[in-house]
């Protein structure tokens, strides 16, 4: 029997992904749709002896192919004919959600309409007659409570029993489709046709609502009460800052760091000695022992040590997003973004930059104007992506052990402030002022589904793990080679290596910042290839130190490996300047390549490399020199 293909579609914030996760669990594969960075989620399950392939399409409000998500959904239905298409509706916002439903039916796509969050609809005083709704559309209607596994699993029975050929659009729908076709042939201007079709859709939705939905007066909801504090006034900004500060405390002090200590101890006290003893016993050549211990394990281990911090951070971010609070963050930041010369929509790609600059840069396609897209692309590299977190966390733990969370929080703020300031400068110098609109849905507050939070955190964190296991592995080998060889062959004196030559040629420009060692210069160069390589480079270069003495308990596992020599190479002030430079200078090569593609020009890639590095150099210079004047050196 052939596999049954099912596609889930619907507006954002309808619980669609929660339903997908409940149906497929861990049996899902995450990739990207061809040519875009939007997630492609597919899960294979079996029910009643039938194999079912479920595709979770991106959340979208329409299929006009204007945004990246809309194009993915539109292209999918043009190129694929799934057996069943399930339109997930937020029952508490049914009128708004039905706009996409009508569009899909206009395109001849047979649907099952699933009313999700029926419990929230009832709390809002909304009563939906499912039989009348089914008759109005001429398609089957089901209902679920997204976080109820039992409720969602009933959909599998619907999938295996549904015979979509038994359902035909109702007379009401056929009349609407006929009117749309007449408008398309009317000879009116494209803009006028679009206006008339949109009006016809809302007229149809009003008719269906009057037949199948009754809304009784409801009191002030919990969301309304919370938004009076969380999305309005000065209190909302203070609460947002407090929420992110708490997030950093949890990630870098209370939970993430203790877990990172365990990972670091495993590498330093178990894996490295075991590998050394095993290779020694097997008679492995000295250079190979050095490659494995000092190159691969030291380099990769220095990065993997921060995986617990990053996963803790992603879990918290996924939780906040699931509650609906992250949408409020965008809303709160809109006035600030407008003062920076951007629309509030720009905050969304910038927020993606906290994960990785590459998808964040590509997400700028969704912005409405050329000015917004270009400026947002140019300032995204200043945002603290997860590849920069290990650099910040390492230096914060080594030089500011009593204030790790405070320093990390300050670095995140520094990246945000720099992005905003540079956006304003660019909007006033390189691009003409344009008016932009800001449309954003504020979903109701709800308790996130734990499974969805964990799966989303895993999807985001997995990218970091893949980098640590591939790019960083390769970079560790390259860095080990550069640090152990010169034109005469292998050398035991790292000061005479290729890497020392590269670092020596580079480090002179950092003398005013206080970190003019060749090791710092070498780390900055390798950071252009991949930001994670900064930590792995320092791990290899400074990992040769004798760390047999027991460090202070406040120092983490990274200190145990590198504290002795790094403490002599940096002061707290020069370490802070190095952190600022690493935070702001050129994005990695992958991100630079993405800039070239999205901005459509090699000159723009070169511009981003040069101007971000110049900004980083100037700001790190100010940090160090002002710090010296204030007596902190």
Q: Average of pLDDT values for 91-116?
A: 94
Least confident of 106-110, 382-386, 405-409, 532-536: 532-536
Residue 279 in this model has a pLDDT that exceeds 80: yes
Place 548 in a pLDDT band, splitting at 50, 70 and 90.
very low
Higher pLDDT, 118 or 581: 581
CA 26 to chain centre: 20
Q: Copy the structure tokens of residue 361.
A: 């840069």
Q: Is the pTM higher than 0.85?
A: no
In a domain, 230, yes or no: no
In a domain, 573, yes or no: yes
Place 561 in a pLDDT band, splitting at 50, 70 and 90.
very low
Does residue 306 share a domain with residue 190?
no
Does residue 541 share a domain with residue 393?
yes
| Number of other residues whose CB lies within 10 A of the CB of residue 209 | 17
CA 495 – CA 426 distance, rounded (Å): 42
In a domain, 445, yes or no: no
Identify the pLDDT of residue 574.
95
Does residue 127 share a domain with residue 59?
yes
Burial profile 106-135: b = 16 or more Cβ within 10 angstroms, e = fewer: beebbbbbbbbbbbbbeebebebeeeebbb
Model confidence pLDDT, tens digit, residues 309-334: 778 878 888 898 889 898 888 788 88
In a domain, 340, yes or no: yes
Model confidence pLDDT, tens digit, residues 147-165: 677 788 889 988 988 777 6
Residue 559 in this model has a pLDDT that exceeds 80: no
Q: What is the largest CA-CA distance in the chain?
A: 86
Q: Average of pLDDT values for 436-449?
A: 75
CA 541 – CA 521 distance, rounded (Å): 12
| Number of other residues whose CB lies within 10 A of the CB of residue 400 | 18
Look at the chain and report how many structural domains it folds into: 2
Q: Copy the structure tokens of residue 302.
A: 């220095």
Q: Quickly tell me which residue has 């990992």 as its tokens.
A: 543
Place 438 in a pLDDT band, splitting at 50, 70 and 90.
low
In a domain, 45, yes or no: yes
In a domain, 440, yes or no: no
In contact, 406 and 574? CB cutoff 8 Å: no
Tell me which residue range forms the domain holding 14: 4-215
CA 133 – CA 143 distance, rounded (Å): 12
Q: Average of pLDDT values for 283-312?
A: 80
In contact, 347 and 354? CB cutoff 8 Å: no
In a domain, 247, yes or no: yes
In contact, 532 and 485? CB cutoff 8 Å: no
In contact, 303 and 468? CB cutoff 8 Å: yes
412's torsion region: left (phi>0), alpha (psi -120 to 50) or beta? alpha
Distances (CA, A) of 330 to 59, 278, 347, 440: 18, 53, 6, 8
Place 17 in a pLDDT band, splitting at 50, 70 and 90.
confident
Q: What percent of the chain has pLDDT over 70?
A: 89
Identify the pLDDT of residue 510.
94
Question: What CATH code is carried by the domain that includes residue 63?
Answer: 3.40.50.300
Query: 3-class secondary structure for 534-545?
Result: HHHHHHHHHCCC
Does residue 246 share a domain with residue 136?
no
Residue 541 in this model has a pLDDT that exceeds 70: yes
Does residue 250 share a domain with residue 193?
no
Does residue 264 share a domain with residue 147?
no
Query: 3-class secondary structure for 234-266?
Result: HHHHHHHHHHHHHHHHHHHHHCHHHHHHHHHHH
Does residue 313 share a domain with residue 388?
yes
Q: Which of 215, 246, 278 is the last residue of a domain?
A: 215
CA torsion through residues 37, 613, 497, 282, sign: negative
CA 468 to chain centre: 17
Model confidence pLDDT, tens digit, residues 168-196: 899 999 999 999 999 999 989 998 999 99
CA 474 – CA 255 distance, rounded (Å): 30
Does residue 253 share a domain with residue 194?
no
In contact, 329 and 236? CB cutoff 8 Å: no
In contact, 420 and 336? CB cutoff 8 Å: yes
Does residue 370 share a domain with residue 502?
yes
Q: Copy the structure tokens of residue 18.
A: 């929660």
Q: Copy the structure tokens of residue 327.
A: 């949408």
Distances (CA, A) of 594 to 47, 71, 601: 42, 19, 10
Does residue 175 share a domain with residue 122?
yes
Beta bridge partners of 43: 28, 54
CA 478 – CA 287 distance, rounded (Å): 14
Does residue 261 share a domain with residue 172?
no
Does residue 241 share a domain with residue 211?
no
In a domain, 224, yes or no: no
Identify the pLDDT of residue 546.
35
Highest mean pLDDT among 85-89, 385-389, 398-402, 502-506: 85-89
Identify the pLDDT of residue 368.
62
Q: Average of pLDDT values for 526-544?
A: 78
């Amino acid at each position: 029997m052939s596999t049954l293909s099912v596609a889930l579609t619907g507006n954002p914030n309808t619980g669609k992904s929660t339903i997908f996760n409940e149906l497929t669990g861990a049996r899902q594969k995450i990739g990207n749709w061809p040519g875009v960075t939007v997630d492609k989620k597919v899960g294979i399950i079996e029910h009643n002896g039938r194999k079912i392939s479920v595709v979770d399409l991106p959340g979208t409000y329409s299929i006009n192919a204007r945004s990246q998500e809309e194009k993915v959904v539109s292209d999918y239905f043009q190129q694929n004919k799934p057996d069943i298409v399930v339109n997930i509706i937020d029952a508490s916002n049914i009128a708004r959600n039905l706009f996409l439903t009508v569009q899909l039916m206009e395109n001849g796509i047979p649907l099952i309409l699933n009313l999700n969050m029926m419990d929230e609809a009832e709390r809002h005083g909304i009563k939906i007659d499912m039989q009348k709704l089914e008759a109005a559309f001429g398609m089957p209607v089901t209902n679920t409570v997204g976080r109820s596994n039992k409720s969602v699993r009933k959909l599998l029975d619907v999938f295996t029993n549904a015979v979509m050929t038994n359902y035909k659009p109702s007379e009401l729908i056929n009349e609407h489709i006929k009117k749309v076709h007449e408008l398309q042939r009317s000879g009116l201007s494209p803009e006028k046709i679009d206006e008339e079709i949109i009006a016809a859709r809302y007229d149809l939705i009003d008719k269906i609502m009057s037949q199948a939905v009754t809304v009784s007066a409801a009191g002030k909801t919990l969301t309304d009460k919370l938004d009076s504090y969380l999305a309005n006034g000065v209190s909302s900004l203070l609460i947002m800052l407090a929420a992110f500060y708490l997030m950093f405390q949890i990630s870098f002090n209370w939970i993430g760091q203790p877990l990172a200590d365990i990972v670091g101890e495993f590498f330093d006290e178990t894996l490295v000695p075991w590998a050394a003893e095993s290779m020694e016993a097997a008679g492995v050549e000295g250079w190979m022992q050095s490659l494995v211990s000092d190159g691969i394990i030291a380099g990769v281990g220095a990065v993997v040590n921060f995986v617990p911090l990053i996963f803790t951070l992603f879990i918290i971010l996924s939780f906040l997003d699931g509650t609906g609070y992250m949408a409020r963050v965008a809303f709160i930041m809109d006035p600030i973004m407008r003062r920076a010369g951007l629309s509030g929509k720009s905050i969304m790609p910038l927020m993606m930059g906290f994960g990785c600059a590459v998808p964040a840069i590509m997400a700028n396609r969704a912005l409405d104007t050329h000015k917004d897209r270009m400026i947002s692309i140019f300032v995204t590299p200043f945002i603290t992506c997860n590849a920069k977190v290990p650099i910040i966390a390492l230096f914060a733990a080594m030089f500011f052990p009593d204030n790790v969370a405070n320093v990390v929080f300050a670095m995140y703020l520094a990246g945000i402030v720099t992005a905003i300031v540079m956006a304003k400068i660019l909007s006033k110098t390189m691009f003409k002022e344009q008016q932009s609109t800001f449309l954003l849905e504020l979903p109701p507050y709800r308790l996130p589904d734990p499974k969805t939070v964990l799966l989303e955190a895993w999807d985001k964190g997995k990218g970091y793990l893949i980098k640590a296991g591939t790019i960083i592995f390769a970079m560790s080998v390259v860095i080990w080679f550069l640090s152990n060889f010169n034109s005469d062959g292998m050398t035991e004196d790292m000061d005479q290596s290729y890497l020392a030559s590269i670092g020596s040629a580079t480090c002179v420009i950092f003398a005013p910042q206080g970190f003019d060692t060749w090791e710092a210069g070498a780390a900055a160069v390798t950071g252009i290839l991949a930001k994670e390589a900064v930590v792995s480079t320092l791990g290899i270069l400074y990992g040769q130190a004798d760390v047999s003495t027991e460090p202070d308990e406040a120092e983490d596992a990274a200190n145990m490996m590198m504290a002795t020599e790094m403490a002599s190479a940096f002061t707290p002030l020069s370490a802070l300047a190095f952190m600022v430079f690493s935070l702001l200078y050129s994005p990695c090569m992958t991100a630079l390549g993405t800039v070239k593609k999205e901005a459509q020009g090699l000159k723009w890639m070169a511009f981003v490399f040069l101007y971000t590095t110049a900004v980083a150099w100037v700001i790190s210079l100010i940090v160090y020199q002002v710090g010296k004047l204030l007596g902190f050196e």
